[in-house]
């Protein structure tokens, strides 16, 4: 019965949205804008969702979500255009697509490559959505049993795992970024006793720092500075010629698609680890399990399918922890969380009680967004390519003005702007030194949750930490945190290396002994 009523809401949502011409225009427009955002190198899905957040502030929640999700889906897909046509990924998520997309375009198969990407991205988004529908209620139900212990550990685990997996250099750079985010989150009056912390008698800081301007600063300014500083100029795009959906190739790659989508969902669900990593991991896996791995990098369609299915499947994956636990799974999902909070909706286990239809609505919107993306992709690809002629040095300053006015518009406070600039500069400098930015923003978002729940938990147990070890989920989380940290210690890695070496030696010994017989 429950399923039937859910399905009813699903159909109703789709119908009501499609019957409103304004929503349809918004859906197609945001999706197209998303593709353009993804396609322009220097603009990312995160930035697109950030700027759109300010524009959709005055809309109702459902309309705003249509716009934001279409932008997200479109931008993750749009990154593949310049990857394929000029060998410069539009977003980090599409970097792996360039490996085989560009060689294909050089061969004159640009249209075919784009057709493959379009359909693969569509399928990826839909599979991701199915995962969201299947898993979110289960996790939500389990999370309803969570108490302060679990929420504190969950927030902590989210920051640790995101720091561990996104750090390009030393792993503790990721953790430092996360801690800096938590430190920023401490600013303002604390939630339990309203004691002003680090406010330096500035009344504007009493309410804590505003999340959205921090996010815009952390994502937009580094991108603007980096691109303008490096004088990025784009080559001439390759020809597209004819573009078809390429269903045949998709059917032949069925196994590849399923694997890539599952990888994408899994990676998306890990806090802060997003589309870019999903694309690369899936590409690598497809290469290793392909019958002709040497074709990869020379224009192998399976490579494109792997990375594009995975990066779009990542969206649904990233929404799973966002909807169920209030922990964003990827950088654009961080932004999406910021947008939802602006609309007065705090995702988390309680959402299934306060907004029982939210998940179904979200699913319906994702279906529409992926359809819009596919239609836009199939019919408007040629026009999107024209956008690639706009030089970065012209559109990035425009984005700078939009970020400034966007940060201001949320709350009409110039103080937000004063905050945005230093955050952006620090984020830029950290990025230059190979610190990942997602743990930082996740820290800013999860900080209040971690703080409040730690103290609530200790209040319940009257100051005893034993409470953390008495609940099964809490214990699992503690073990996961300890293992994540231990696995990064040099001593542990050396020991692991030794064990592997010993095992390998034993195996070769055994093989040699066997061969000697």
Q: Cβ distance 128 to 450 under 8 Å? A: no
* Of residues 47-86, those binding another protein (CB under 8 A): 55, 57-58
Least CB distance to another protein at residue 231 (A): 6
**Which are the contacts of 373, defined by CB distance < 8 A and separation ≥ 6?**
31, 34, 35, 70, 73, 74, 77, 118, 121, 122, 125
Least CB distance to another protein at residue 139 (A): 26
Report the residue from 24, 130, 142, 179 that binds another protein according to the rule CB under 8 A.
Answer: 179
Helix (H) or strand (E) holding 346: none
Least CB distance to another protein at residue 88 (A): 18
# of chain residues touching another protein (CB under 8 A) = 58
Q: Cβ distance 107 to 70 under 8 Å? A: no
Nearer to another protein by Cβ, of 141 and 432: the residue is 432
Least CB distance to another protein at residue 469 (A): 16
- CA distance from start to end of the chain: 66
* 25 in contact with another protein (CB under 8 A): no
* 489 in contact with another protein (CB under 8 A): no
Q: Cβ distance 132 to 319 under 8 Å? A: yes
Least CB distance to another protein at residue 221 (A): 7
Q: Within its chain, how far is the Cα of 236 from the centroid?
A: 30
* 405 in contact with another protein (CB under 8 A): yes
Report the residue from 24, 455, 481, 485 that binds another protein according to the rule CB under 8 A.
Answer: 455
Q: Cβ distance 212 to 230 under 8 Å? A: no
* 24 in contact with another protein (CB under 8 A): no
Report the residue from 138, 258, 398, 495 that binds another protein according to the rule CB under 8 A.
Answer: 398
Nearer to another protein by Cβ, of 229 and 505: the residue is 229
Report the residue from 183, 234, 244, 481 that binds another protein according to the rule CB under 8 A.
Answer: 183
Nearer to another protein by Cβ, of 239 and 434: the residue is 434
* Alpha helices, DSSP H, located in 79-189: 80-86, 95-106, 110-144, 148-166, 171-185
Query: Helix, strand, coil % (nearest 5) of the chain?
Result: 75, 0, 25
Least CB distance to another protein at residue 480 (A): 18
Binding segment for another protein (CB under 8 A), chosen from 117-125, 366-374, 376-384, 410-418, is 410-418
Least CB distance to another protein at residue 192 (A): 6
**Phi, psi dihedral angles at 34 (to 5 degrees):** -60, -45
**Phi, psi dihedral angles at 473 (to 5 degrees):** -65, -40
* 193 in contact with another protein (CB under 8 A): yes
Residues β-bridged to residue 188: 197
* 478 in contact with another protein (CB under 8 A): no
Tokens of 284: 């690598």
Binding segment for another protein (CB under 8 A), chosen from 253-261, 286-294, 381-389, 399-407, is 399-407
CB atoms within 10 A of CB 411: 15
Report the residue from 408, 473, 475, 481 that binds another protein according to the rule CB under 8 A.
Answer: 408
Of 25, 28, 78, 21, the C-alpha closest to 48 is 78
Q: x/- binding map, residues 425-454, to another protein, per CB under 8 A? A: x------xxx---------------xx--x
Cα–Cα dist 362/129, whole Å: 9
Q: Cβ distance 336 to 277 under 8 Å? A: no
* 494 in contact with another protein (CB under 8 A): no
Least CB distance to another protein at residue 467 (A): 11
Least CB distance to another protein at residue 358 (A): 25
* 401 in contact with another protein (CB under 8 A): yes
Of 55, 107, 117, the C-alpha closest to 312 is 117
Q: Cβ distance 107 to 247 under 8 Å? A: no
Least CB distance to another protein at residue 317 (A): 29
* 141 in contact with another protein (CB under 8 A): no
Q: Cβ distance 132 to 457 under 8 Å? A: no
Nearer to another protein by Cβ, of 345 and 400: the residue is 400
* 202 in contact with another protein (CB under 8 A): no
DSSP state of 296: T
Report the residue from 24, 244, 402, 475 that binds another protein according to the rule CB under 8 A.
Answer: 402
Instruction: Please identify which residue in the block is written with the tokens 């559109």.
Output: 395
Tokens of 491: 């001593």
Report the residue from 404, 437, 445, 477 that binds another protein according to the rule CB under 8 A.
Answer: 404
* 394 in contact with another protein (CB under 8 A): yes
**Phi, psi dihedral angles at 196 (to 5 degrees):** -75, 120
Q: Cβ distance 93 to 46 under 8 Å? A: no
Contacting residues toward another protein, per CB under 8 A: 55, 57-58, 169-170, 172-173, 175-176, 179-180, 182-183, 186, 190, 192-195, 197-198, 221, 224-225, 228-229, 231, 391, 393-394, 397-398, 400-402, 404-405, 408-409, 412, 414, 417-418, 420-421, 424-425, 432-434, 450-451, 454-455, 458-459, 462-463
């Amino acid at each position: 019965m429950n399923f039937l009523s859910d399905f009813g809401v699903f159909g109703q949502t789709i119908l009501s949205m499609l019957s409103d011409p304004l929503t349809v225009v918004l859906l197609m427009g945001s999706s197209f804008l998303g593709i353009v955002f993804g396609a322009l190198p220097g603009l990312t899905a995160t930035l697109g969702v950030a700027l759109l957040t300010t524009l959709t502030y005055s809309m109702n929640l459902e309309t705003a979500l249509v716009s934001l999700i279409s932008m997200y889906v479109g931008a993750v897909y749009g990154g593949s255009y310049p990857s394929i046509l000029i060998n410069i990924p539009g977003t980090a998520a599409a970097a792996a697509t360039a490996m085989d997309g560009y060689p294909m375009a050089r061969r004159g198969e640009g249209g075919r490559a784009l057709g493959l990407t379009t359909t693969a991205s569509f399928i990826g988004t839909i599979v991701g959505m199915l995962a969201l529908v299947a898993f979110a209620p289960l996790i939500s139900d389990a999370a309803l049993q969570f108490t302060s212990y679990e929420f504190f550990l969950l927030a902590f685990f989210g920051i640790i795992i995101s720091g561990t997996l996104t750090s390009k250099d030393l792993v503790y750079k990721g953790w430092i970024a996360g801690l800096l985010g938590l430190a920023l989150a401490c600013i303002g009056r604390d939630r339990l006793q309203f004691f002003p912390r680090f406010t330096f008698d500035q009344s504007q800081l009493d309410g804590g720092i505003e999340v959205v301007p921090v996010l815009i600063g952390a994502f937009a300014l580094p991108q603007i500075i980096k691109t303008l500083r490096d004088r990025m100029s784009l080559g001439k795009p390759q020809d597209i010629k004819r573009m078809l959906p390429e269903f045949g190739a998709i059917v032949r790659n069925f196994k590849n698609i399923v694997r890539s989508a599952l990888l994408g969902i899994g990676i998306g669900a890990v806090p802060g680890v997003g589309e870019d990593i999903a694309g690369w991991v899936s590409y690598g896996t497809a290469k290793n399990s392909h019958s002709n791995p040497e074709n990869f990098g020379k224009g192998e369609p399976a490579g494109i399918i792997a990375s594009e299915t995975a990066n779009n499947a990542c969206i649904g994956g990233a929404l799973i922890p966002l909807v169920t636990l209030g922990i964003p799974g990827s950088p654009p999902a961080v932004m999406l969380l910021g947008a939802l909070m602006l609309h007065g909706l705090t995702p988390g286990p309680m959402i299934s009680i306060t907004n029982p239809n939210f998940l179904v609505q979200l699913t319906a919107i994702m279906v529409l967004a992926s359809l819009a993306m596919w239609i836009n992709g199939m019919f408007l690809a040629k026009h999107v390519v024209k956008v690639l002629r706009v030089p970065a040095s012209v559109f990035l300053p425009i984005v700078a003005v939009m970020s400034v006015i966007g940060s201001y518009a949320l709350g009409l406070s110039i103080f937000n702007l004063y905050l945005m600039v230093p955050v952006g500069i620090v984020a830029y400098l950290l990025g230059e030194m190979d610190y990942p930015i997602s743990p930082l923003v996740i820290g800013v978002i999860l900080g209040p949750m971690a703080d409040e729940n730690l103290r609530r938990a200790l209040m319940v147990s009257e100051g005893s930490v034993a409470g953390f070890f008495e609940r099964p989920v809490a214990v699992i989380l503690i073990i996961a945190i300890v293992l994540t940290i231990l696995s990064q210690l040099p001593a542990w890695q050396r020991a692991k290396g030794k064990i592997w070496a010993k095992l390998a030696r034993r195996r070769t010994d055994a093989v040699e002994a066997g061969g000697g017989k």
